[in-house]
Every structure is written in C-alpha cells, then in structure tokens.
Structure 1
Amino acid sequence: MVEVPDALSTLFSAQIETDGDRYIVEIPKSEVSHGAVSPGETYRVGLLSQVDASASATAQPQTPKQDTDPERANTGVPQPPVDEGEIRNVTIESLGDQGDGIAKVERGYVVIVPDGEPGDSPTVEIETVQENVAFASVVDNDGHTV
C-alpha cells in the first residue's frame, strides 16, 4: 500500500504527452484556480500507474462515478466524486473569497459550504455538482439539525 503524506497538495489524473525530446504532464486549470498549486513554484511529483478494472475494487476505496453525460462519456476526463442529493460528512479547511467554507474531498475536489468555518465538520447535502466544484447545504452540524 502507498503511504500518502499529509503534505499532499492535490491529486488528479492526466496523460503524459510527448513534446520532442521531453514529456509533459498538464496540471488542470482548476488546481491552480483553487489554490492547490501555483505557477512558478516547484513541486515534487509522484506518479501512480493506472489500475485495471479488476483490481480497482480492492485498490481504491471508492468506485469512480459513471459518466451519464453522453457528450463526455469515454473522454477519459475524471468525473466529480460526488452526486447531487448525496449526504456527506466533510471538514471545512478554509474560507473562500466570499466567506463560504471550503471542504475538499477525493482528488482535492472542492465542496463549498455556506456559513462554514475552518475546523467545522458538518454533514452536508450536495445540491449542485459542477466539473470542478460542488455546492452543499448543511443538514447536521455537530449533532444539531440546521
């Protein structure tokens, strides 16, 4: 099993591209816009090989979401790790520019929680899911229904 350090900034899937005598791994724009990485900074990069379908049930804690959008099906683009209507326990890590709580779930995917404070661990319902961010409402905050 691979040990993941607490200093992990982001996790995403990407293909390795060839450019002459070098190879390129592109960082998704969303990782920069969410502050996971910054242009001009130096990072340590680790690569994990792609897990085949038969091993994924035991190697990964959650099964990837199936794409139901025919325009994006089979494009290789990772899908959001949450679904609308899903109930989740999250931990607010920081505040966004507009004062909302920001929680991160699998692969660094961002969930925006109104009125969340860093350190809060509410139970939320995912209301809107977009490619790079989801919006949720608090359904239980430390045992008190909101």
Structure 2
Amino acid sequence: MDTYNKPVEMGDEIEVTIESTGAKGDGIAKVNNFVVIVPGAKEGDKVKVKITRVLKKMAFAEIVTGESSSSTSSESNEDGEESYDQAEEQSDDEEN
C-alpha cells in the first residue's frame, strides 16, 4: 500500500523555488513537502519545471524556463537519478 502523497505527476509543469542544493549539486524544491530534484538549478532559483520521473518519496524535473544560473545536463541527471534510486531503496529497507 502506497502511503505517500504524490502532489505531482509525470509531465506536470509547475513553478518552484529551489530551497537548497543536494550533495551532487542538484537543486532541491518542495511541493507540499514532496521533494523535487532539479538538476542544473541552484538555491534561490525560481524556475518552471517539467516533472520527468516520480518515485515514492521524490520526483525529478527538468527546467523549462526561469532564473537558473546554469544549464542542465542529461548525463548528470541520469547519474543523479541512479544514486537517488539507491538511497530510496536503502531507506525503504530500513523502514521494513
């Protein structure tokens, strides 16, 4: 049973403010306390993003428009998603 609220769906375009930067340099925003990872965005950026992937506890998005100070890289996005997938699997194991 999925007990997590997912306020975003794949393909959604939403405006977010990047609240912090993750360990790999990706921007981190929250939508109703649901984490959205935005590669290429920096803390303080206000950007319109498109949701590209939704997991149990987080989603990934790419910048559509906004005040980002850097460009996105699909290579870093794929690497970042893999490491986040592993972190989520470990978190799920610890909960069980």
The verdict on a shared fold, with TM-score over 0.5 as the criterion, is yes
- TM-score normalised to structure 2 length: 0.66
Greater fraction helix: 2
Alignment of structure 1 residues 105-144 onto 2, 5 Å: 105-106=31-32, 108-142=33-67
Greater fraction strand: 2
Aligned to 2:11: 85
Give the C-alpha shift of residue 141 in structure 1. Answer: 1.3
Aligned to 1:102: 28
- TM-score normalised to structure 1 length: 0.44
Distance 2:45 2:5 in 1: 26
List runs of 5+ in structure 2 lacking aligned partners: 72-96
Instruction: Find runs of 4+ consecutive structure 1 residues off by over 3 angstroms.
Output: none
Give the C-alpha shift of residue 80 in structure 1. Answer: 1.0
Distance 2:40 2:5 in 1: 27
Give the C-alpha shift of residue 79 in structure 1. Answer: 2.8
Q: Percent identity of the aligned residues?
A: 44
Distance 2:18 2:52 in 1: 17
Q: Give the CA RMSD over aligned residues.
A: 1.5
List runs of 5+ in structure 1 lacking aligned partners: 1-71
How many residue pairs align between the two structures?
68
Tell me which of the two structures has the higher relative contact order, counting C-alpha pairs closer than 8 angstroms and 6 or more residues apart.
2
